[in-house]
Structure 1
Amino acid sequence: MPPINRQFEMVHADEWSMKVAFASSDYRHVDQHFGATPRLVVYGVKADRVTLLRVVEFPVVSGHQTEKIAERIHALEDCVTLFCVAIGEAVFRQLLQVGVRAERVPDQTTILGLLQEIQLSWYEKAQRRSARQRDPQRFNRLLEEQTWREEPDPQP
């Protein structure tokens, strides 16, 4: 396997249950094909905050080498999502096998913007869940609103 050039990791990176990665050359934008990215930037995401957890830098090697892809996949094994500009179909399937969903985004999409979208989605889901929990009678009302009609048993 090609060696990783450098890897920086926060001390308490394991306390984050949601980790997302970005294929980036400048730490600020998603601007790389997964197989060619010189860097993966990994953030921890919670409903109320995000934190840079890890940066993994790879040597720039041209071509499609199995070792190069394997090293990148290994760097993502604790992530739930990878954002990149492009990814090959076979590698996309390999990521799914290790539990990582790859999402293609337009070139120069800001990492900050994607992190905010993730948090907004999380907040909206929490609000819907909270609204359902605040209304213990919701199922009774749904049943009352439905018209139930019993069918007679068919005669033999």
Structure 2
Amino acid sequence: MKPFLQRILLWFVFFISPFTLYAQSDNQICQWVKGTLLDTFSLDYTYKPSDGEELRKSYTENAWDALTEFLGNYLPIIREKRLTLHPVFIKEPFIAEKGIFSGVHFWRVNEVLSIPELNIIIAFSVLVIETSPLSNGRYLIQSMDMVKKESS
């Protein structure tokens, strides 16, 4: 009986604990995504592309390109009307899916935010990956889908 218990304990240590040791809470991931998107969309008419360099570190190149292409359509309006954007979450971020693929933790996070100054509502679905479990949970937004709706 004793070898059986040792095997179970060994199985637990080698197969279960590595996945849970570095697992992040859903709330922590959601708050990181929320803060990242708020920082990204809180811009004003003085915004220059170089201003986004620090934010860019939270995105992969593909995600950043999609985002800047989307925002690029609004920059002339923001400058012309001298706007300062104040994004507001309509729907708090939530984990729609999570898992491990090829040893990389990932989370699909959905949320909806409003940008009243532009009269738009944007629904996001972002794929977040953990770059290294040993780096204190450094995350990247790997990809994002955005659906825009004009608010009334």
Q: TM-score w.r.t. structure 1 length? A: 0.24
User: Relative CO higher for 1 or 2, CA cutoff 8 Å, sep ≥ 6?
Assistant: 1
**Greater share of strand residues, 1 or 2?**
2
Query: Computing the radius of gyration over CA atoms, which structure comes out larger, 1 or 2?
Result: 1
